[in-house]
Structure 1
Amino acid sequence: MAPRLGRRQRTAGPPPGSGHSRRSVLAALGGLGALGAAGCTRVADAAGANGGDLLDRLRAQGVVRLGIAGEIPFGYIDKDGRLTGEAPELAKAVFKRLGVGRVQPVPTEFGSLIPGLNSQQFDVVAAGMYVNPDRCEQVIFADPDYRMLDSFIVRKGNPKGLHDYKDVVAKKARFATGTGYAEIQYAVEAGYKESDILIVPDQVAGLNAVEAGRVDVFAGTALTTREVVKKSSKAEATKAFAPLIGGRPHVDGGAFAFRPAETRLRDAFNAELHQLRKSGELFRILRPFGFTKAEMTDLTAKELCGG
């Protein structure tokens, strides 16, 4: 999704050869966000027993502000300068059905998404964020729109035979993962010393570290690892696996996050999400970004929050 860190969890950039550096992606997003912010004050917090009035205000304004983290394939600027990714495209579909015709990106680092949401810098977190109990104490989540396993980036042929976190510990592999990734805690859970973990900005930097021999393995989601190694002649992605939490296999789920007072908006979003899942439209939206049917899910936010 689940430990305190996460995806999700993560700040990441475009794959090699995309023509966009992580910095350029965030700069482009920043420009879009600034344009929207110029004529708009921060959204007022709508606490109240009725579940908040943000949905009504979004319908009146005709636009919803999405907190995103500039991460392929979850939310990014493509080569034509267009905002896309699984979360923005899903947001467009859901909010259109809710009577809100336009989405506006507000870029930030992944670790600033929840603080930014709760300080009213944007209306919704749309970044494929993993649902976990600690986050559930700070925000409310829609049900997950996808499930995800982990995978490693290793040298071609996987010379050290690294297939899960226990292997990394047993073989004393040099281990890297991304800033704020859930994989940090998964490695620690397996017995890896946190101070020995190399933290890099994203999966592209992780791939580079493996290719250069600075580390033996980079851990990320199965989706991001398999996408980023496609153009590499030196590295490969391992078979997806479920990390162990408390000795039990754990599967993460990514979802949209809302301010705690806005239960009415969250519930309306959930209702439309479930309809999209039932019709098959959800998979059609996510498939172009590398998602497979194996990553569709019936997990609920309540389950992942530990409720």
Structure 2
Amino acid sequence: MAPPNRHVRHDERIARPARRSLLAGVAALGALGAAGCSRVATASTAPGGDLLERLRAQGVVRLGIAGEIPFGYIDKDGQLTGEAPELARVIFKRLGVDKVQPVPTEFGSLIPGLNSQQFDVVAAGMYVTPERCEQVIFADPDYQMMDAFIVRKGNPKDLHNYQDAVKKKARFATGTGYAQIQHAVEAGYKEGDILIVPDQVAGLNAVEAGRVDVFAGTALTTREVVKKSAKAESTKPFAPLVDGKPQVDGGAFAFRPTETKLRDAFNVELRKLKKSGELFRILQPFGFTKAEMTDLTAKELCGG
């Protein structure tokens, strides 16, 4: 759902509820889960953290999610799903934690919520960025992603990257907290000239209504959200320029800085899933392609 600001977060099924109803559904499910497990993990004091042991004892891990398709959301049957929750179920089961419980919040509140003990891990497809790496520790990415645009059918302004959009003075929009804000600013937009909308559905609506010429998001979210649109299409994926170089982003689970043991154990299981091909089988139903599987590491994306 990342982005250094994202989101990217960021999946899509088109016959989807609005973002507000998604968050409401997640909240309801989270409340039900909380009723069955009132014990909340607190900060670890042992070197490397002892959260994994405590989660095993509790039998449940609390996932911070942002109600974003396809990264973590409530489906039409009221069930928690998305690439991150489904992956979390598999990995935490292997780690001896049988249940996952959603804790809904806005994307921009995920890191503060994690560090203030509101949940145990961020499971929201969050992009790994140097800025975020100063606040949390990341598992290695479970996917990589390029950007793409939503434009009017036929792409009348011939927009294929941020430089095109700046050159042609395209009216530009992206989502709240999305990494694409920074990508656009780096290309030459003033942040105050960017229309910020709640998510990719609102972005599609803005393009279809002619309020903007382009909406920027992840390649996955843009291609999924336009599938049933008669007025808009998505462009081919492209790598935005960051510090003058093409940037491919990666999304990952985030942990509190003290919980290195949990993060490391998570990484061990994640690598097994990558090697066996099971990771792709988990993510494919949410629109991910083999080209979006990755061997990127958190260390690379953190800049260290």
TM-score class normalised by the smaller sequence:
over 0.9
Aligned residue for 1:87, secondary structure, equals helix
Question: Is residue 43 of structure 1 aligned with residue 41 of structure 2?
Answer: yes
Asked if structure 1 preserves the Cα contact closer than 8 Å seen for 2:143 and 2:292, the reply is: yes
Choose which of 111, 124, 127 in structure 2 pairs with 1:127: 124
One of 245, 250, 262 as aligned partner of 1:248? 245
Equivalent in 121, 142, 146 of residue 145 of structure 1: 142
Q: What's 1:8 paired with?
A: 8
TM-score by length of 2: 0.97
Q: Is the CA contact 2:89–2:100 (under 8 Å) kept in the aligned structure 1? A: yes
What residue in structure 1 maps to residue 102 of structure 2? 105
Amino acid at match of 2:71: F
Normalised by the length of structure 1, the TM-score is 0.96
How big is each residue's C-alpha offset from its partner over 1:117-146, in whole Å with a ceiling of 9 and x where there is no partner?
A: 000000000000000001000000000000
User: Which residue is 1:280 aligned to?
Assistant: 277
Q: CA RMSD in A?
A: 1.5
Match of residue 30, structure 1, among 27, 31, 47 = 27
Distance in 1 separating the partners of 2:174 and 2:2: 16
Distance in 1 between residues matched to 2:45 and 2:298, nearest whole Å: 21
- Identical aligned residues as a percent: 79
Structure 2 alignment gaps of length 5 or more:
none
Following superposition, the deviation at residue 23 of structure 1 comes to 1.2
SS in 1 for 2:296: coil
Deviations 1:134-181 (A, max 9, x none): 100000000000000000000000000000000110000000000000
CA distance in 2, matches of 1:253, 1:9: 10
What pairs with 1:101-250 in structure 2 (closer than 5 Å)? 101-250=98-247
Separation in 2 of the partners of 1:17 and 1:100? 33
Matched, 1:267 2:271: no
Report whether the alignment pairs 1:17 with 2:52.
no
CA distance, structure 1, for counterparts of residue 2 and residue 163 of structure 2: 18
Q: Give the Cα separation in 1 of the matches to 2:150 and 2:292.
A: 19
CA contact (8 A) 1:9 1:180 kept: no
Do 2:141 and 2:294's aligned partners in 1 also have CA atoms closer than 8 Å?
yes
After superposition, the Cα gap between the structure-2 partners of 1:290 and 1:3, relative to the gap in structure 1 and judged at 3 Å, is: closer
- Tell me, what secondary structure is at the counterpart of 1:147? strand
Post-superposition offset of 1:32 = 1.4
Cα distance between partner residues in 2 of 1:154 and 1:200: 15
Secondary structure of the residue aligned to 2:96 is: coil
The structure 1 segments of at least 4 consecutive aligned residues displaced by more than 3 Å after TM superposition are: 1-4, 13-16
2:6 and 2:126 in contact (8 A); partners too: yes
